[in-house]
Amino acid sequence: MVKAINPMTDKNRIYAKRDFWITSAIIIVLLILGISILIMPEEGRGLVALLMIPVAGFLGWLYFSTYTVFQDDFLLCKSGPFTEKIRYADIKSLKLCRNFMSSMALARDRIEIRQHNKSYVSGTTYISPPQREQFLEELKKRCPNLNKTPE
């Protein structure tokens, strides 16, 4: 049975490593949004702010709340409003990788998690824990159905 967790009080969060490029990109987008609001004529500024503030909030939510948590039966992966619970028994392969594929990672140095009985797109998750080699070793210990060579 999967135990219920409260992500707001869970102290076992492992926050994602954040590369300089992703931090820079988010700061640039936020600056552009802020400058756009400031340079708009006063009569349109409220509407522009109403549209852009949620975008800025969403980017901040992704940036500050991307983490993983080792649970008893699954790995909880969270990135802003997106949550994935990957059961250890469903993991078929794990590998270190470096890519820019979209996923729950904020760094190019990632761990690729592939799941049994899912397609490459729906069954592949990328995470970027700060000490990925140690994280990978701990994750391997919890995965009973892990193939040694990815397909």
Where does 65-94 have alpha helices with state H?
none
Distances from the Cα of 148 to the Cα of 3, 38, 92, 121, 133, angstroms: 29, 55, 8, 21, 16
- Expressed as residue numbers, the domain containing 96 is 67-141
Q: Are residues 48 and 60 in the same domain?
A: yes
Quick one: pLDDT at residue 101? 74
Q: Are residues 72 and 125 in the same domain?
A: yes
pLDDT digits (tens, 9 = 90+) for 89-115: 999 999 999 987 778 899 999 999 999
Q: Are residues 72 and 53 in the same domain?
A: no
Kindly report the CATH number assigned to the domain that includes residue 118.
2.30.29
CA–CA gap between residue 120 and residue 107 (Å, rounded): 21
Q: Is the pLDDT of residue 29 over 80?
A: yes
Distance of CA 41 to the CA centre of its chain: 37
Instruction: Give which of 141, 133, 122, 138 is closest to 95, Cα–Cα.
Output: 133
CA–CA gap between residue 104 and residue 68 (Å, rounded): 9
Do the domain assignments include residue 10?
no
Q: Is the pLDDT of residue 39 over 70?
A: yes
Q: What is the count of structural domains for the chain?
A: 2
**pTM to 2 decimal places:** 0.81
7-16, 73-82, 120-129: lowest mean pLDDT where?
Answer: 7-16
Cβ-Cβ contacts under 8 Å for 66 (sequence gap 6 or more): 15, 16, 78, 79, 80, 104, 105, 106
3-class DSSP state for residue 124?
A: strand
Do the domain assignments include residue 131?
yes
Question: How many other CB atoms sit within 10 Å of the CB of residue 85?
Answer: 15
